[in-house]
C-alpha cells in the first residue's frame, strides 16, 4: 500500500474517492458561509480560521465545506 491508500481497480464497482483540495484563507479575505452568511477572515491558524460575521465571531475548522472565498 502506498501513503495515499490502496489504488483504485478499473474493475471495481465503486467510484474512486475524489480528493478535495483544501482552500487556504488569508487575513481580510471575504467569505460566504452557508449558515452564517457573509464575513471577513480576522485570524488564521494551521487548521482553522476566525471569521467576523458582524454580529458574531466564529472559528471555522478545516475542511471548509460550507464556506467559499468571494
- Residue 45's φ and ψ, nearest 5 degrees, are -120, 170
Residue 35 inside a domain? The answer is yes
10 Å CB burial of residue 51 (0-12, 13-18, 19+) is buried
Residue 8 inside a domain? The answer is no
Identify the domain containing residue 46 by its residue range.
30-69
Q: What is residue 63's predicted lDDT score, i.e. its pLDDT? A: 82
Give dist(CA 52, CA 37) in Å, integer: 10
Q: What is residue 4's predicted lDDT score, i.e. its pLDDT? A: 64
Q: What is residue 51's predicted lDDT score, i.e. its pLDDT? A: 96
Mean pLDDT of successive 10-residue segments in the chain (70 residues)? Answer: 69 82 89 94 93 94 87
Residue 6 inside a domain? The answer is no
Residue 60 inside a domain? The answer is yes
Residue 50 inside a domain? The answer is yes
Q: Could you give the number of structural domains in the chain?
A: 1
Residue 7 inside a domain? The answer is no
Amino acid at each position: 500500500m502506498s501513503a495515499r491508500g490502496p489504488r483504485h481497480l478499473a474493475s471495481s464497482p465503486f467510484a474512486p474517492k475524489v480528493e478535495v483540495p483544501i482552500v487556504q484563507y488569508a487575513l481580510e479575505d471575504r467569505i460566504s458561509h452557508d449558515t452564517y452568511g457573509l464575513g471577513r477572515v480576522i485570524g488564521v491558524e494551521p487548521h482553522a480560521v476566525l471569521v467576523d460575521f458582524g454580529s458574531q465571531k466564529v472559528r471555522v475548522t478545516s475542511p471548509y465545506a460550507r464556506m467559499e472565498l468571494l
